[in-house]
Copies of this chain bind each other. A is one copy, B any other.
Amino acid sequence: MVQFQQARLDASFAALSDATRRGVVEHLGRSDASITDLAARFRMTLTGMKKHVCILEQAGLVSTEKVGRVRTCRLGPRRLEEEAAWLARHQALWNARFEALDQVVQELKRKEQAHGREKKR
């Protein structure tokens, strides 16, 4: 189970590591589009766009349906929830570590002030 999840995260983060592919996902967030539309919008050959869409489809971020000669792309089925959860966990750890560091700094400051007061007496 964990292994499947890891493979999904591998595929989706890799799919998102390209500006054009992120642009396609953003565009499909606003409306469905054919591969021809996407190729024109991103000034790319049909073959180039097909490759990007294929990578997004394998990662589950985009699904496609061919009706006649037109292949329409839309978002889904995956909603990037696992990816968002991973990042949120990471940021919680970061914040916890920073708070711990901050407490150490505050403690040192208190000790220094107390030491300063003692010296003045």
Contact = CB atoms under 8 A, between A and B. Distances in A.
Interface of A: 6, 9-11, 13-14, 16-19, 22, 25-26, 29-30, 75-76, 79-81, 83-84, 86-91, 93-94, 97
A78 to B, nearest CB: 10
B29 A97 contact: yes
Copies of this subunit? 2
Nearest to A92: B29
Contacts of A22: 6, 9, 86
Contacts of A90: 25-26, 29, 80
Contacts of A9: 16-17, 19, 22
A81 to B, nearest CB: 8
